[in-house]
Chains A and B, each alone.
Chain A
Amino acid sequence: MASVKIPDTKVEELKAICQKFRNDGSELINVLHGAQELFGYLPPEVQEIVADELNVSLAHVYGVVTFYSFFSMLPKGKHPISICMGTACYVRGAEKVLDEFKKLLKVKVGETTPDGKYSLSCLRCVGACGLAPVVTIGERVYGRVAAGDVKKILGEY
């Protein structure tokens, strides 16, 4: 068992999430959703506790975490930026928008800026194809974003 660096109270909260799903291994994805909401990301220690509580192998937990792009093992920035790379957004220029974010923030996809303010990720379809290309920052959704808008959008934060 790794030395748990996360505070005890958080560990208890995490265990409570597991219990909410009856410590059932087949609820792993739901538990991980809850855990990511609690911690912002899924560090190894969290995955270990989840594996122990649900009685599934650590490799299996890690497999699920790395399979779904929603789950992250890196701490998210204060303002998590997601660019939709679904078909509709992609054909309407999402890649150019992404490149602009990368250029201005000087990070790659999956990374967080050194000051912890922004993190950058891609996702597949937020279900707002009419607004393509779509960018989300935290809970906010920006539609019909062009590369030229990126600087202005970042200026809001």
Chain B
Amino acid sequence: MDIVKLTIDDKTLVVEKGTTLLEAAKTIGINIPSLCYMKLEDLNFENKPGGCRVCVVEVEGRRNLAPACKTVCEEGMKVQTHTVRVVNARRTVMELILSDHPAECLTCAKSGECDLQSVAQKLGIREIHYQGEQSHYKSDKSPAIIRDMDKCIMCRRCETVCNEVQTVGVLSAINRGFEAVVAPAFEMDLDHSTCTYCGQCVAVCPTGALTERDYTWKVIEALVDPTKTVVVQTAPAVRAALGESFGMEPGTLVTGKMVTALRKLGFDYVFDTDFAADLTIMEEGAEILDRLSKHLSGDKEVKLPILTSCCPGWVNFLEHNFADMKDIPSTAKSPQQMFGAIAKSYFAQKLGIKREDMVVVSVMPCLAKKYECTREEFSVNGDPDVNMSISTRELAQLIRNANLDFKQLADEDFDNPMGASTGASVIFGTTGGVIEAAVRTAYELYTKNELKKVDFEELRGMEGIRQATVDFDGLPINIGIAHGLGNARKLLEDIKAGKSTFHAIEIMACPGGCIGGGGQPYHHGNVEVLKKRQKAIYREDAGKAIRKSHENPFIIKLYEEFLGAPLSNLSHELLHTHYFDRKKKIEI
């Protein structure tokens, strides 16, 4: 390893060659303020256009100040990070950026989480000495994401994540100079573009330029409507991240407090999407075995590998870019939609109410779920199975609105029957979890033997593409896992080229899976936060009494009382779907 020696603020240090000043300074505890820069270690995301110039430092012997995010350490370099000249330059840069930024902090959705705001505070900006024209763009309100480009500071993080990590390619900087803005082609709205609503642009946006479509008020309206029975479901990744919104350590599990909070908010039934995840495994597992046994008996028509279908961002990606492969994913609906379909049939019947009188709210780590629940095929006579989906952040906002002291809440349990779940369903929240859950069930159904060790370490981790072979008592099952749509694209292209040797593949649109979803509390570029959430998910799984979906007693009961068996006619009607060719037409 080549190394270089330099001094930063009179401290001598040795770093690997190629390290930037920003990273080098961090190793000795100096956090140089930065704005456009963001790096997500291990997730193939590094945005350093060197555009904002907030991170400038003084390098001895150089006439101009150097941006620390783009300047590589050199032997013998002498760097000062907070001279008067540096501080003044940073303040000037910030004032210029702020001179073209709406001063709407008090009512901005991003207030308190805004990187621009925190840098302005850090630099103590109290007055903006530059007045001039402000840029204005049309606002764009898709069902999931709102673009308010007046608040954009052209850091290009969204563009980098959309193009390089997700390979969705919807966003690009367009026009030049004062007119420049990040937008889809022909400045069309997101819902006319091939946007998957994965929400990763929102997850990295430093300001309020990209935010989620907020449905909290709609939830409150439903809660105060005496004619409605309001049912809530919470996705597995929410409980591993919600605590962060209340200052708790990342990776703190807050399942019980979350349930209590939801009950106090006034939901009539607090249920768990995990229940529906177990149901997904029943259906998807049966489908995997069905396709596999057909394949083994020589059926050439059967489609393999089978792809998981829980992730709506990924389903959108497939429909936009690989529509010719739309018969490959499992036809099983996502847990969110399975929950809605069962709540408004089985559970509504149990309560003796009409489905129209039930409102199903989902709490998701995801923004694509907001779009998914509006899809036409997921409604009956115009009544959606899931009425609205809010993000983890929106739930935190509802809890704050209600003035609940979240940290002090007691732990309570979910309601039955749709609150019971297994460890298998919890791990849906992280990359590799869905396929591990499916393997736990498929193994026992296929071999008729008990699975002694339920932990499949080989399927876990953070690498973008992982593969493992699981032994089904002599039958090797090849499994692929991809998270992040760029990684998914690679596996899909292999399938297209006939090179794929996998039997089953799990795909999650967001890096890390749902724990890194676009609706989670902001990570501000710290990947450790995602890793801690992942650990929490596996901890919750390990602590569950039942860890295989097919052993969930309420799932067994649901099949006995209502559905019959996996892949039955009623199961097909309620729990399965199909995919569409959605190659977008240009609409300007």
A47 located at the interface, meaning its Cβ lies under 8 Å from any Cβ of chain B in the complex: yes
Q: Known contacts A60-B169, A66-B175: does B186 contact A2 (CB below 8 Å)?
A: no
Min CB–CB distance A63 → chain B (angstroms):
4
Min CB–CB distance B243 → chain A (angstroms):
37
Q: In the docked arrangement, what's the CA distance between A51 and B185, Å?
A: 11
Residues in chain A near residue B171, CB distance under 8 A: 59
How many of chain A's residues touch chain B, expressed as a range? 10 to 19
B135 located at the interface, meaning its Cβ lies under 8 Å from any Cβ of chain A in the complex: no
Min CB–CB distance A34 → chain B (angstroms):
20
Contact A57 B186 (CB under 8 A): no
Extra A-B contacts (13), CB below 8 Å, given A45-B586, A63-B173: A1-B583, A2-B586, A44-B186, A57-B169, A57-B170, A57-B172, A58-B185, A59-B170, A59-B171, A59-B174, A59-B185, A62-B174, A63-B172
B163 located at the interface, meaning its Cβ lies under 8 Å from any Cβ of chain A in the complex: yes
**Chain A positions 54 through 95: 1 when the CB is less than 8 Å from some CB of chain B, otherwise 0:** 001111111100110000000000000000000000000000
Contact B583 A61 (CB under 8 A): no
Contact B163 A60 (CB under 8 A): yes
Q: In the docked arrangement, what's the CA distance between A45 and B583, Å?
A: 15
Min CB–CB distance A79 → chain B (angstroms):
26
How many of chain B's residues touch chain A, expressed as a range? 10 to 19
Among A2, A3, A58, the residue within 8 A (CB) of B169 is A58
Min CB–CB distance B38 → chain A (angstroms):
20
Q: In the docked arrangement, what's the CA distance between A143 and B170, Å?
A: 44
B208 located at the interface, meaning its Cβ lies under 8 Å from any Cβ of chain A in the complex: no
Q: In the docked arrangement, what's the CA distance between A67 and B173, Å?
A: 9
Query: In chain B, residues 151-192, which have Cβ atoms closer than 8 Å to a Cβ of chain A?
Result: 163, 169-176, 183-186
Chain A residue at minimum C-beta to C-beta distance from B183: A59
Interface residues of chain A: helix, strand, loop or mixed (majority): helix
Q: In the docked arrangement, what's the CA distance between A60 and B184, Å?
A: 9
Contact A66 B586 (CB under 8 A): no
Residues in chain A near residue B585, CB distance under 8 A: 1-3
B588 located at the interface, meaning its Cβ lies under 8 Å from any Cβ of chain A in the complex: yes
Query: In chain A, residues 123-141, which have Cβ atoms closer than 8 Å to a Cβ of chain B?
Result: none
**Chain B positions 72 through 106: 1 when the CB is less than 8 Å from some CB of chain A, otherwise 0:** 00000000000000000000000000000000000
Residues in chain A near residue B184, CB distance under 8 A: 59
Q: In the docked arrangement, what's the CA distance between A58 and B172, Å?
A: 9
Q: Can you list 7 A-B pairs with a CB-CB distance of less than 8 A?
A: A47-B185, A57-B185, A58-B169, A59-B184, A59-B185, A59-B193, A66-B176
Among A2, A56, A61, A66, max chain B CB count under 10 A is at A66
Chain B residue at minimum C-beta to C-beta distance from A1: B583
Q: Known contacts A58-B185, A60-B169: does B174 contact A44 (CB below 8 Å)?
A: no
Residues in chain B near residue A1, CB distance under 8 A: 583, 585
Q: In the docked arrangement, what's the CA distance between A61 and B586, Å?
A: 14
Residues in chain B near residue A56, CB distance under 8 A: 169
Q: In the docked arrangement, what's the CA distance between A58 and B192, Å?
A: 13
Residues in chain A near residue B175, CB distance under 8 A: 66-67
Chain A residue at minimum C-beta to C-beta distance from B169: A57
Q: In the docked arrangement, what's the CA distance between A62 and B184, Å?
A: 9
Q: Known contacts A66-B176, A67-B174: does B586 contact A59 (CB below 8 Å)?
A: no
Among B169, B172, B173, B586, max chain A CB count under 10 A is at B172
Residues in chain B near residue A63, CB distance under 8 A: 172-174
Residues in chain A near residue B185, CB distance under 8 A: 44, 47, 57-59, 61-62
Contact A60 B586 (CB under 8 A): no
Min CB–CB distance A70 → chain B (angstroms):
12
Q: Known contacts A44-B186, A47-B185, A57-B163: does B588 contact A62 (CB below 8 Å)?
A: no
Q: In the docked arrangement, what's the CA distance between A58 and B186, Å?
A: 9
Residues in chain A near residue B186, CB distance under 8 A: 44, 62
Residues in chain A near residue B193, CB distance under 8 A: 59
Q: In the docked arrangement, what's the CA distance between A60 and B175, Å?
A: 11
Among B172, B176, B583, the residue within 8 A (CB) of A59 is B172
Among B163, B169, B170, B174, the residue within 8 A (CB) of A66 is B174
Residues in chain A near residue B174, CB distance under 8 A: 59, 62-63, 66-67
Residues in chain A near residue B183, CB distance under 8 A: 59
Min CB–CB distance B323 → chain A (angstroms):
11
Contact B588 A44 (CB under 8 A): yes
Closest 5 CB pairs of A and B: A57-B169, A59-B172, A63-B172, A62-B185, A2-B586
Residues in chain A near residue B172, CB distance under 8 A: 57, 59-60, 62-63
Contact B586 A48 (CB under 8 A): yes
Chain B residue at minimum C-beta to C-beta distance from A44: B586
Chain B residue at minimum C-beta to C-beta distance from A57: B169
